[in-house]
Amino acid sequence: MASLCLVHLLWGPFGPEAAARFGAAYRAVDPGVEHRFVTVYNGFRDGVDAARDALGVPADQEVHIDGRVQDLVAYRRALDAVPCERVAFVNSWAEPLVDGWLARLVAALDAPGVGIAGCTGSWESPAKEAPPHLKLHRRRLFPPFPNPHIRTNAWAIGAELARSLDWDVGRRKVTAEALESGKRGLTRQVQARGLRPVVVSRRGLVEVDDWPEARVYRSGDQEELLVRDNRTRQYDDADPRRRAALARMAWGDRAVVSQACLRRRRP
C-alpha cells in the first residue's frame, strides 16, 4: 500500500483546458514528497483522451466515474479505489504554486490532534449570505457565522478516517455545499472525533483562530497561498471594493485587506 495518493479530479464539461492548466502548474513545481498520482475522470461522455493528453502527467491510476456526480461524491468513490494510507485531493481548478506544496500539506497530518488539513479554509456561512427566501432552509443545513471549515479545493486526510465519515450529499448542489461547510460537513465530523482542522500556509500550520490573518484565503494579498483555485483567483482579480467585500464574507470583522489595496481605495 502506498503512503500517499494525490487524487486529481477532472470535470468533463470544463474540457481539456482545465487539465492543461493543472498539468502545467503541477510540472512547474516540486511536490516535495513521493506519491501515487491518481486522475479521476468525472462527467466525461467523450474527450478522455484529449484531457489526458492536455494534462501531460502520466497517472499511476485512473478512476472513471459513470455519469456526472458532485465533486465530493467523486472523491468518495475514488477513496474506494486507491490503496493509500493518506489521500490529498485537488479539484479541477487547483494550481500548485510553490515547491514542496504537497509535502507541507500532508505533513500537517503528523501534528498531534490534526485530522484534516487544507490549503485554504474559511469562516463563511451560506446561512448568513443566503437571500431572504432561502435563509430558513440554509439555517437548517449550515451553522451561523463564524463557521470554520476546510475548503475542498486542495486538502488532505487519512484514508481510514475519510472512509469512516458520512459523505451523503443527495442530488442537490446545496447538499454538496453542506458536506463541505454544513452542520454535518466533513470538518464538523472530524471535529466530532476529537480531531481538529488546520490550514497550511507557506509558513506552516495555521490554527482556526488565526485563519483570518494568515494571508492565505481572501486575506491580505494571499501571499502565503500554496494552491490557487477559482475563488482565490476571484479575489486576486477583484477591484478594491469587491476584494474587501469578499474578505468580509470569509472573516467578518477579522477581515485583513492589504495596505496596497487600502491605498487604492482612497480617493
Domain boundaries, the chain: 2-265
Q: How confident is the model at residue 169 (pLDDT cuts 50, 70, 90)?
A: confident
**Can you give the C-alpha Rg of the chain in angstroms?**
18
* Predicted confidence (pLDDT) per residue in 39-58, tens digit: 999 999 899 999 999 999 99
Q: What grid cell was written down for 196?
A: 481538529
Q: How confident is the model at residue 258 (pLDDT cuts 50, 70, 90)?
A: low
241, exposed or middle or buried, with CB in 10 Å at 0-12, 13-18, 19+? exposed
Measured distance CA(11)–CA(108) in Å, rounded: 28
Measured distance CA(121)–CA(114) in Å, rounded: 14
Q: For domain 2-265, is the CATH number 3.90.70? A: no
Residue listed under C-alpha cell 495596505: 259
Taking 90 as the threshold, does the pLDDT of residue 259 lie above it?
Answer: no
Measured distance CA(102)–CA(109) in Å, rounded: 12
Q: What is the pLDDT of residue 171?
A: 65
Among residues 102, 125, 130, 142, the alpha carbon closest in space to that of 227 is found at 102
Measured distance CA(245)–CA(230) in Å, rounded: 17
Residue listed under C-alpha cell 509535502: 103
Q: Return mean pLDDT, the chain.
A: 93
* Vertex 76: Cα angle to 183 and 85 (nearest 5): 105
Q: What grid cell was written down for 27?
A: 510540472
Taking 80 as the threshold, does the pLDDT of residue 158 lie above it?
Answer: yes
Query: What whole-number percentage of the chain has pLDDT above 90?
Result: 86
Sign, CA dihedral 222-90-98-201, equals positive
Cβ neighbours, 10 Å, residue 111: 14
* Predicted confidence (pLDDT) per residue in 199-229, tens digit: 999 999 999 999 999 999 999 999 999 999 9
Q: What is the pLDDT of residue 262?
A: 45
Measured distance CA(106)–CA(249) in Å, rounded: 28
Max CA pair span of the chain: 60
Q: How confident is the model at residue 264 (pLDDT cuts 50, 70, 90)?
A: very low
